[in-house]
Amino acid sequence: MSDNYNIDDARFMDLAFSHAEEALQRGDLPVGAVVALDGQIVSASSNMNTSEKTWLSHAEQNALRTAGQRLRYEYEVNGRSGSLYSSLEPCVMCISHAIFCRISTIYFGGTDKKYSGISILDLGANDYYARLRPAIVGPTHQMRCEELFGFYQPKWPFDNLQEIK
* 164, pLDDT greater than 50: no
* Residue of 21, 22, 52, 60 with catalytic role: 60
For residue range 16-37, list pLDDT tens digits in order.
999 999 999 999 999 999 999 9
The mean predicted confidence, pLDDT, of the chain is 80
For residue range 96-114, list pLDDT tens digits in order.
888 888 888 999 998 877 7
Residue 165: per-residue pLDDT: 42
For residue range 32-52, list pLDDT tens digits in order.
999 999 889 999 999 999 899
Active site residue 21: no
Q: Residues 155, 86, 10, 78: what is their CA dihedral angle, to the nearest 10 degrees? A: -150
pLDDT average, residue stretch 151-155: 64
For residue range 63-85, list pLDDT tens digits in order.
999 998 888 766 555 556 789 99
